[in-house]
Amino acid sequence: MRSPIPLKKRKSDYIYLSFFVLNLSFITYVVDIEQIVIFNPAQFNYPIWPLPFLVDMVHWWGSNFDPLQWARPVWWKATIWLDVVFFGPYYAFAIFAFIRGKDWIRIPTIIYSTMLFTNVFIIMSEEYWGPYATHSPLIVTLANAPWCLFPVFLILKMWKHEHPFTVESYD
């Protein structure tokens, strides 16, 4: 029999939870949804969601720092769809599992982290050397760094421990 380690004793998990909440509440269902519902950021009507000020914020970033986000090639949109369809639900389950100390999230986290790192590696390659390369590589690198680093840290956490959230109980 295993029992969960209380969240307050797993202090590093607060950082992962913050990352998951940011992604679920803002990145996936604001930034990414905008790129699905607005085909051409140079000519569009505001959608119902995201709200206009959020759309303007995403467009400001794309027009000032991230030509890839502004161009929205098909392969880029494929990564956005993966985020919306798979990563969004993962974040909801991960928030629950990390708070409650559920070991079943271990394998999904390894899969998610591998996919995310692969996507971001490909995206950053385009940002540096592709036809839509940024003119602000340092800013874009810093903005994307969490999505390169968190998958690595999560894989290390989950790979290292077969039961990352529980301990053997002898009740």
Question: What is the pLDDT at residue 75?
Answer: 97
The residue extents of the domains of the chain are: 2-168
Q: Residues 6 or more apart from 82 whose CB is under 8 A from it?
A: 115, 119
| 3-state DSSP helix/strand/coil % of the chain, to nearest 5 | 75, 5, 25
Question: What is the pLDDT at residue 171?
Answer: 63
For residues 96 and 163, give the distance between their C-alpha atoms in angstroms, rounded to a whole number: 16
Question: Does pTM top 0.85 for this prediction?
Answer: yes
Question: What is the pLDDT at residue 170?
Answer: 79
Three-state secondary-structure class, residue 42: coil
pLDDT in tens, 128-164: 999 999 999 999 999 999 999 999 999 999 999 999 9
